[in-house]
Structure formats: C-alpha cells, structure tokens
C-alpha cells in the first residue's frame, strides 16, 4: 500500500501514530546485473589503464584547470599516448568550465561531471552509460573521501575524510568542512578537492577496466532510502512528480513533515 500525498501533508503526532499503522512503500531494489561491452555499444577505442596513473595524473593536472578538466585529461592523455587518434586532438580545454560545480555555481561536483563526460565519450549505449554513472555517483555519495595520498604537490599531510551524501559540489564541501573543522576557503579544503579528484579518476578507471574485461557488475549498491522516496515520487508511484537518483535526504529531511514521516517510515522499512 502506498502512502498518499494527503496523509504526508497531515503532519503532527497523530499523523505519526497513524503512519505507524500503515504498511510502508517498500522499494523494489533491482538485482545487480552484468553489463556487457560489445563493439556496438562503444564509440571510441579504450584499452585498460593503470588506475594509479589516472589518479596521479588527475592530481597533477588539477592546478591547471580544476576538477572536471583534471578528471577528463587524466584519462584522455593516457589514451592519446597509447591509442593516438581521436584522442590526440580532443578539446580537453573546454572542461575547465566544470570547476566548483559548473563555473563556481556549486551544482554537480566537477570530478563526477568529468567522469560522466568520459563515459559519454567512450560508450554509446544509454543504459550502460546511465548504469556506470549511477554506480560511480552512488559510490561518491557513500565513500569516505579523500583517500588519495599524493607523493608530491601542495601538501603530503593526511586530511580528514567525510562522506558527502551528495553529488553537489557545495553540499560535498560543506559536509567536509563540518567534519574536518576547516573553512571552505582554506588551503586544506582546496587540497581535499584535489585529492578527491584523484580518487574519482581512480574509481572511474577501475569501472572502465572491469567493463572492457567483461567483468563489470552494475548496481551492487543501492540507496535504499532514496528508492523508498521514489516509491511514491517516481514514475511508478502515486505522486509521479520527480525523476532523480540523487540522495534525497541530504536536502529533504530538513523538512519537519518529511522528518516525522521519514523516521517512522525507515523504522517500518527496517522491521
């Protein structure tokens, strides 16, 4: 049974009691599935790359063009050396636009935007593209970062890690500031983004290598809470008013109505 918009709008303690008697919209989570690479769903050639080389290059290129540029160039520069055309004339310069969540606007993390651009560059099949992007983005939302330790560069001190719970640049940064105690304008926060870019490039390379080795299993992790929201709000739900895979809670549990709803709701899901 689904919980209707009217019930959600009710709010308050009486609502909470009522909700506890209602079966929750338990999300249907799809099984992990193997993605198969065939010549038909690939546009440009790829050969297996060393993830640590990708990470080190992303870290090295970062000061020249920030997160999105460094991520794209970390992969393209290796393919240009090892494959040649079409990578030798690739317009990597354009990806500087993605810094700070697109021109400093604070939206999508540039390392993720750049990784998705690389996936779009290599693979034509939309389902494979979307699956790889969702897997990478969910990993980013749930993994303590940064993890990469540079051998050289601005700083070799260790840095605190945080779990972003969001693919948005500003939210990811704010979470790290909260956990680390550093300000957003500190050199440590900038170094955090530089290392995180290396981490994302490493992960992207691992994903691409596994796909091209025919060993890639997609959807091994799920955001159960977001799936629960989508049971009502998604195209299969009664509300059918949003299409999204982002972690919902990093913004939307700020709503008191949703907070009451969510707590009772997750309780029921766990039971």
Q: Which residues bind its own copies (CB under 8 A)?
A: 43, 86, 89-91, 93-108, 112-113, 116-117, 119-121, 124, 126, 129-130, 132-134, 137, 167-170, 173-174, 177-178, 183-185, 234-235, 240-246, 251-252, 254-256, 258
Phi, psi values for residue 80, rounded to 5°: -65, -40
β-partners of residue 42 are 123
CB of 52 to its own copies, least distance (A): 25
Distance CA 101, CA 105 (A): 5
Closest listed residue to residue 198, CA positions, set 64, 100, 54, 55: 55
CB of 120 to its own copies, least distance (A): 3
Whether residue 197 contacts residue 191, with contact meaning beta carbons closer than 8 Å, is answered with no
CB of 235 to its own copies, least distance (A): 4
CB of 27 to its own copies, least distance (A): 16
Give residues with Cβ within 8 angstroms of 84, minimum separation 6: none
Judged by beta carbon, residue 101 or residue 146, the one nearer its own copies is: 101
Judged by beta carbon, residue 40 or residue 271, the one nearer its own copies is: 40
Judged by beta carbon, residue 56 or residue 77, the one nearer its own copies is: 77
Judged by beta carbon, residue 56 or residue 71, the one nearer its own copies is: 71
Judged by beta carbon, residue 88 or residue 156, the one nearer its own copies is: 88
CB of 35 to its own copies, least distance (A): 13
Phi, psi values for residue 28, rounded to 5°: -90, 105
Quick one: CA torsion of 150, 153, 155, 158, rounded to 10 degrees? 0
């Amino acid at each position: 049974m689904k919980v209707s918009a009217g019930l959600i709008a009710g709010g308050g303690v009486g609502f909470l009691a009522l909700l506890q008697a209602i079966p929750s919209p338990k999300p249907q989570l799809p099984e992990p599935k193997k993605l198969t690479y065939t010549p038909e769903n690939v546009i440009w050639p790829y050969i297996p790359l060393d993830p640590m080389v990708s990470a080190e290059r992303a870290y090295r290129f970062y000061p020249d063009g920030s997160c999105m540029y460094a991520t794209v160039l970390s992969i393209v520069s290796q393919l240009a050396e090892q494959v040649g055309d079409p990578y030798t004339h690739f317009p990597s310069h354009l990806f500087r636009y993605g810094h700070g969540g697109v021109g400093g606007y604070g939206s999508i993390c540039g390392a993720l935007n750049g990784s998705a651009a690389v996936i779009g560059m290599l693979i034509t099949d939309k389902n494979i593209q979307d699956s790889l992007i969702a897997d990478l983005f969910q990993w980013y939302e749930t993994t303590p970062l940064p993890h990469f330790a540079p051998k050289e560069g601005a700083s070799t001190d260790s840095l605190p890690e945080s779990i972003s719970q969001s693919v948005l640049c500003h939210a990811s940064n704010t979470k790290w500031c909260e956990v680390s105690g550093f300000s957003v304008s500190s050199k440590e926060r900038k170094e955090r983004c530089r290392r995180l870019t290396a981490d994302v490039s490493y992960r992207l390379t691992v994903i691409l290598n596994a796909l091209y080795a025919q060993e890639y299993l997609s959807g091994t992790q799920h955001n159960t809470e977001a799936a629960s929201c989508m049971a009502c709000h998604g195209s299969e739900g009664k509300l059918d008013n949003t299409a999204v895979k982002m972690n919902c809670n990093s913004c939307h549990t700020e709503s008191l109505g949703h907070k009451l709803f969510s707590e009772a709701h997750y309780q029921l899901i766990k039971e």
